[in-house]
Structure 1
């Protein structure tokens, strides 16, 4: 099912033995647009610390009830490696986190989740892993070069300018993700400041040519005119495959669901 990241925000995160907190934002990676972590505000529990929850642990999301159920205990989360979400999260941080929970690393494989298209654990991967060696946050940051950081905050990227082939066209107003594959499929683009009577349109992440993370801009090879004339998008209506097909056909692009990654199907 395709749904907005915004619909996750504020959702209660329910462990096996109680509520962990609520979703504050998501982290996605800048290589495959995969939603790698929910950033959860623990409120009064854990003194309000923010913790990361991987889709590997998610049993199901319930948009109607605004609840994300995870196959974890509060004690597991309490003892998980501390991560400062106000600082860039490096691959070394992630490896410590994944090793603690016994999750495989998602990068370096042929699919969006390593060797699979979905964040599903095999029988040999279930259960907590090895405790990471104890290291202070400053020590972790010291060996986290910029090229080792690939996670981006949905909150931080909201507002990035969209540069079409021939002109600016709008800014990122949201994200649409697949809640089975946990991959961001579309950016929602608000065009109203760029042309009178503008509207919200969708830009598939596969149509993004480059991102300037320092300049806060996203570049696509689509023209401004093509984006202006693309099929209307109504965020009050569930996104259907019929609409997706019409959008891809309009731009003469193949649908992600026709490609080899099993998460596309």
Structure 2
């Protein structure tokens, strides 16, 4: 995945313009990671803030749109091309203002860009 596409939904994700993903379940390659709390697009860096519930001690994680491999509107499910451990190891999301910090977003994008490529899946 090219670094410049980490912030854009890939074609296979079939993201419908205007579709609100809030509340959708987010599923990694090895299980559920949480639910979409909200979407954001700051500085052209589209991403999801995912509420992990108790899985990561009640924390949220930031997932770039380019990691999404599928969106199932009827099943209210988003699949991502990484494992739960890879999501958990991403740069820690602490406060909402970090989504407005281009340096933080760049570090997250760099992290996900360096992950091994995975086959696209359907939701």
Q: TM-score range by the shorter chain?
A: 0.7 to 0.9
Residue number among 19, 31, 34 corresponding to 1:4 in the alignment: 19
Equivalent residue number for residue 102 of structure 1: 113
Q: Which secondary structure state, in structure 2, belongs to the residue aligned with residue 37 of structure 1? A: strand
Equivalent residue number for residue 27 of structure 1: 40
Q: Which secondary structure state, in structure 1, belongs to the residue aligned with residue 37 of structure 2? A: strand
Residues 98/59 of structure 1: CA separation in 2 closer, same or farther (3 Å cut): same
Partner Cα separation in structure 2 for residue 35 and residue 66 of structure 1:
23
1:70 Cα deviation from its structure 2 partner = 0.5
1:35 Cα deviation from its structure 2 partner = 6.3
TM-score by length of 2: 0.73
1:127 Cα deviation from its structure 2 partner = 2.4
Structure of higher RCO (CA pairs closer than 8 Å, 6+ residues apart): 2
Partner Cα separation in structure 2 for residue 28 and residue 99 of structure 1:
17
- The within-5 A match list for 1:1-265 is 1-5=16-20, 8-29=21-42, 34=44, 36-89=46-99, 90-102=101-113, 127=116
Partner Cα separation in structure 1 for residue 78 and residue 46 of structure 2:
15
Larger radius of gyration: 1
Structure 2 stretches of 5 or more lacking a match? 1-15, 118-123
Q: Which secondary structure state, in structure 1, belongs to the residue aligned with residue 87 of structure 2? A: helix
1:91 Cα deviation from its structure 2 partner = 1.2
Residues 49/88 of structure 1: CA separation in 2 closer, same or farther (3 Å cut): same
